[in-house]
Amino acid sequence: MNSMIYKNKKPLLVFLIPAFAFLIVFLYYPFFQNVVNTFLKIGGLGRASQGLNTPWYENYQRLFTDPNMRTALKNTLLLTLCTIVFQVGIALILALLVDTIRVGAQFFRTVYFFPIVISATALGLMFNLIFLYKGGMVNQLLLSLGRLPSEVKPSGKVLVQWLDWKDQAHFLFTMFMPVMWQYVGFYFVILVTGLNNISPDLFEAAALDGADGWKRTRYITLPLLRNVLCTCLVLAITGALKVFDLPWVMFGAGMPENRGWLTGTYMYDQTFNRMNVDYGSTIAVLIVVLGVVLSNIANRVFRPSDDL
Amino acid sequence: MNTGIKKIPRVLTYLVLCFWALTTIYPFIWVLLNSFRKKGLILSDSFSLPLGDSFTWDNYITAWQRADFKNAYLNSFLISGTVTVFVVIIAGLAAYGLVRYRFRGRDFLYSLIMAGMMFPVFSTIIPVFRLEVMLGIAGTGRRWLSLLAVILPQIAGNLCFAIIILMGFIQSVPIDLEESAYLDGCNVFQIYFYIIIPAAKSSFATVAIFAFLWSYNDLFTQSFFLRYPQERAITGLLNEISSQAGVNYGLMASSVVLVLIPVLIVYICLQKHIIKGLTAGAVKG
């Protein structure tokens, strides 16, 4: 692309300076500063630091000894795993199915993608109503199906043993389900586009060779989708590590009994409610490091060689 | 197109697809129905249509009276509108420059942008907050400054994604067009405005829609910078209502609906652009 037009490099400055000025001031510099902050003692959001921590790596030490942090990490990694298996899995099944139909494909795309454009706050509130302890949508449904034990008192009142969806036995499901449900449509749309890019000639050739149905999916579609699947995987991992607003609206600070922390919510709580600004920064660094490491591993394992 | 799984009966395919569609649509319908239901009835009977006796507008009236929705809508549109305009302009310029010019450090800048997509907003928000306090933008309690304090980091947060999507599209614009315009005496900026922007119109629309929606929905940044009632934007307002509403579930339902309406309108009008534009960029990346 060595057109004459672009030989004169002076206008380039006008093109690049606004964007990179913004990025440097509000993205790169803050990130660098955030790393520096992890070594300082900072008592409040707007306050200046009170010098180095003693020892300077105190916050990193704390990461390893803090039991809440361990809970947060465990939950987040579990969420990441569930995201990969269920979110990308369901999206893949739906994409393969939509690819076989003609009528209504556009409708399904529109509907599946819809939850993504809605704010997590609204969704969180909606799911709070759905999973409500006394008379939420799910519990009412269970009751009408006769799956909740209830007894009729002599006075005529019906006493129902509602299922608490946010107790220790159920909170993981209640927390993860909405997060996964929301983003299935995102991966679905990416996968459908990937499927559309596969040349139909390949399938005709395969049909001539006698491969059809499941075999075709297994030996042609899936290998050719590998690149796109890998993109989905990386997006799912980095996305899961950053999850914040849905669980925050639904569960708040670490409910139930400090067992419901995620790295995102714990970082927010430490920084904003407990004013441990330097420790919060350290958790943020951990989130970035984990994101880079995990998505690199995913890339190593799943990214196909270029010859496919 | 036949990409496999031919053996599965058509009926079953539609059954599965419709089931998932139901999970994505039904919750919203359920909330909408219950926002019109009389107090107390939600807990006993939330599935029927709220007709006759059980129908009421009260939830909406209470929501509108109790919280300053008008002001919050105004704040939200000011913030998200400004963010959208700036993201589109700035990202468009940068994407054009990065695609068409060959220069030293180009690859470095590109990887900087890729890295920028990895930073979660958590890791940059505290230094940004401190920087803005130092500059006298954040934490002043003055409404317009506080809105600006949200706008600036949101622009930066949306830029990387926008640049990458736009680069994908601008790459596919045939360079011949630009060359003939150049021979006709256009300079680079005229080429950008008269050739590139019209040619990549749909991708600019995608970027604009996403910038708007992300900014509108971003509770995290909003709750950091907008602390006073008159500054509250719509997502923050919803969060506050939910913490105050207690057991008034009708109020919660109607507030959710009020917050969803603008998003719904944007989505229904522009859904073709959203999906087309997003996938073209994402898969290439």
Domain edges within chain A? 54-131+166-302, 133-165
Q: Kindly provide the b/e burial profile for residues A190-201, where b requires at least 16 CB atoms within 10 angstroms of the residue's own CB.
A: bbbbbbeebeee
Inspect the interface and report whether the beta carbons of B220 and A90 lie closer than 8 Å.
Answer: no
Sign, Cα dihedral of A54, A55, A59, A64: negative
Question: Which stretches of chain B score pLDDT less than 70?
Answer: 1-8, 40-48, 50, 52, 246-247, 274-285
Flag whether residue B124 sits within 8 Å of chain A, measured between CB atoms: yes
| Residue B87 pLDDT | 95
Best A1, A4, A5, A287 residue to mutate vs chain B (most B CBs within 10 Å): A5
Specify the amino acid at residue B63: A
* % of chain A residues with pLDDT over 70: 87
pLDDT at B46: 65
- Partners of A158 in the beta sheet? A152
pLDDT at A303: 66
pLDDT of residue A156: 64
Rounded to the nearest angstrom, the gap between the alpha carbon of residue B274 and the centroid of all alpha carbons in its chain is: 11
Looking at per-residue pLDDT, the higher value among A213 and A107 belongs to A107
Provide the pLDDT for residue A135. 67
> What integer pLDDT is reported at residue B284 of this predicted model?
42
Which pLDDT score is estimated for B195?
A: 85
Fold (CATH) for B68-284: MetI-like fold (1.10.3720)
Query: How many Cβ atoms are within 10 Å of B198's Cβ, its own excluded?
Result: 11
Q: Where are the alpha helices (DSSP H) in B45-68?
A: 58-66
Within 8 A of B41 by CB-CB distance, chain A residues are none
Q: How many CB pairs under 8 A join A and B?
A: 323
Global pTM reads 0.78
pLDDT of the residue at B278 = 60
What average pLDDT score do residues A127-155 get?
74
Mean pLDDT (chain A) is 79
The structure tokens 């359920």 sit at B30
- Predicted local distance difference test score (pLDDT) of residue B154: 93
Identify the residue with better confidence: B16 or A199: B16
Residue with more model confidence, A165 or A107: A107
**How do the domains of chain B map onto residue ranges?**
10-56, 68-284
Residues of A in contact with B189 (CB under 8 A): 11, 14
pLDDT at B282: 46
Closest-CA residue of B relative to A229 is B283
A220-237 mean pLDDT: 78
- A 47-76: CB under 8 A from B: none
**Longest CA pairwise span in chain A (Å):** 92
Q: Supply the pLDDT for residue B159.
A: 92
Please name the residue of chain A whose CA is at the shortest distance from the CA of residue B178. Answer: A5
Tens digit of each residue's pLDDT (9 = 90 or more) over A55-65? 777 788 888 88
Radius of gyration of chain A (CA): 25
Q: Please check whether residue B103 touches A, CB under 8 A.
A: yes
pLDDT at B156: 92
pLDDT on residue A62:
82
**Does the domain at residues A54-131+166-302 carry the CATH identifier 1.10.3720.10?**
yes
Q: What's the pLDDT score for residue A279?
A: 86
| 8 A C-beta contact, residue B158 and residue B215 | yes
- pLDDT bracket for residue A29 (50, 70, 90): very high
